[in-house]
Amino acid sequence: MRARRVVVTGGAGFLGSHLCERLFREGAEVVCLDNFLTGSPRNVEHLAGPDAFRLVECDLTDPVHVPGEVDVVFHLASAASPVDYLRHPVETLRAGSLGTMHALDLARLKGARFVLASTSEVYGDPLEHPQREGYWGNVNPVGPRSVYDEAKRFSESLTTAYRGSYGTDTAIVRIFNTYGPRMRPCDGRAVPTFVSQALRGEPITVAGNGGQTRSLCYVDDTVEGILALARGEFAGPVNIGNPTELTVLALAETVRHLVGSESPIRFVGRPLDDPEVRRPDVSLAASVLGWRPRVEVIEGLRRTIAWFTRELSESGELIPR
């Protein structure tokens, strides 16, 4: 990827900003496209240099034009947390349909490789465990989560159609739960919610009885997996995630311990269609891409907690200790 020109849609979001940063540091010229619905210019403000990094505010539901050559288009533009896509259901569906089509059109016009950031949510509430790429999923097409799940499933289908019909060089990565610095405290996902609650001394809210499981991948590992797919010719789909599985309750207790908090655990209602289990089979990524996650969950949580501590300290939101 060194010294190439790339486009990252949704590049001002949590994961997108880390991908932009990594590409920038490797010497690539990066064009970041974002409408700031859930992302923020603050996430990429440290990537200075008008020639090496460009931040362009635009909405991919309209056709997009990027002057000059483009080698790779990374399509990450979408709301990704339940709080966001339930608040913006139509926008999420438009990003997955029109947004994906316009990003694919850009890649096709430029003769660029196209990398779609899909999600483990295409597996829905899985009946197969762990989830491998050949599993077709168990998704409720009219449930509240369907606006995200089905948008990504459609985007995978559209990406596959462009590859088959137009010969576009495409690849699909199915990203499992990713966490790390730059997540928003109000994101709604487990890690930022538990960390911010523990740091503030608030009750840690665990959905249901906390017995449902998740597999957490630190953001640096996720970015490395995305780049490994972009560097080659493999079309995917391929799972990128950490197969270390833990219950949501165990995650809450681990965060509380690492923070050194006395916050009580409070059990709250569980969202409709919330997946019971989630764990990737990453054997395909290991064999085809030579990729495996490296950052242990405890170490990744320590790094994330340190970042949240700084952020909340600067905003005056931490409780006195």
Q: Which helix (H) or strand (E) holds 56?
A: strand 53-57
d(CA 185, CA 305): 11
In the residue annotation, 179 being an active-site residue is answered as no
Given a contact cutoff of 8 angstroms between Cβ atoms, the answer to whether 20 and 8 are in contact is: yes
d(CA 14, CA 46): 14
Q: From 160, 275, 270, select the one nearest 208 (Cα to Cα).
A: 270
Active-site choice (148, 162, 179, 218): 148
Q: From 149, 148, 158, select the one nearest 89 (Cα to Cα).
A: 148
Given a contact cutoff of 8 angstroms between Cβ atoms, the answer to whether 72 and 1 are in contact is: yes
d(CA 178, CA 184): 13
The first and second tokens of residue 195, run together, are 């960390």
d(CA 167, CA 125): 33
Residues that are catalytic: 148
